[in-house]
């Protein structure tokens, strides 16, 4: 249990540091505006899966991911230094699809409710 609390605390700190670094230190034009939405550390803290959302629409998610991957070594070193970690985790960047999935599910639910009302199946909102 204490290990989980430590891992969650480190995940939050890694997310905070990466958000700052990506916004201020990365000069790669492919990256642009990016929001770090979550960080998931492996149980042994060796790998951090970093979820991100590209904003601005100037570059495709794949391009942004490639830009972040090329800066991963620099970012890993900075995360290790700023958090005083003996072994900084290897960073893997993943496009966060949770928002798209949630929007799609909401759309499906709204459509089902609309069809149900059209058939006269429910008077409830």
Run means of pLDDT, 10 residues per run, the chain, 125 residues: 83 96 90 90 95 81 91 96 94 83 72 82 51
Check residue 71 and give its pLDDT: 94
Instruction: Tally the C-alpha atoms within 13 A of residue 61's C-alpha that lie toward its C-beta.
Output: 9
Check residue 76 and give its pLDDT: 96
Check residue 75 and give its pLDDT: 96
Check residue 1 and give its pLDDT: 56
Tokens 């609390």 correspond to what residue? Answer: 5
pTM: 0.76
Q: How far is CA 115 from CA 13, 56, 61, 119, in A?
A: 46, 35, 34, 6
Q: Could you give the CA distance from residue 69 to residue 40 in angstroms, rounded to a whole number?
A: 16
Looking at the chain, the number of H-run helices and the number of E-run strands are 4, 3
Check residue 19 and give its pLDDT: 94
């Amino acid at each position: 249990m204490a290990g989980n609390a430590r891992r969650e605390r480190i995940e939050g700190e890694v997310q905070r540091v990466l958000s700052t670094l990506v916004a201020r230190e990365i000069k790669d034009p492919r990256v642009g505006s990016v929001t770090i939405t979550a960080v998931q550390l492996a149980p042994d803290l060796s790998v951090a899966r970093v979820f991100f959302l590209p904003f601005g629409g100037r570059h495709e998610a794949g391009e942004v991911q490639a830009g972040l991957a090329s800066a991963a070594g620099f970012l890993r070193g900075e995360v290790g230094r700023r958090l005083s970690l003996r072994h900084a985790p290897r960073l893997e960047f993943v496009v966060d699809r949770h928002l798209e999935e949630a929007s799609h599910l909401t759309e499906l639910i709204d459509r089902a409710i609309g069809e149900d009302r059209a058939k006269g199946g429910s008077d409830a909102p």
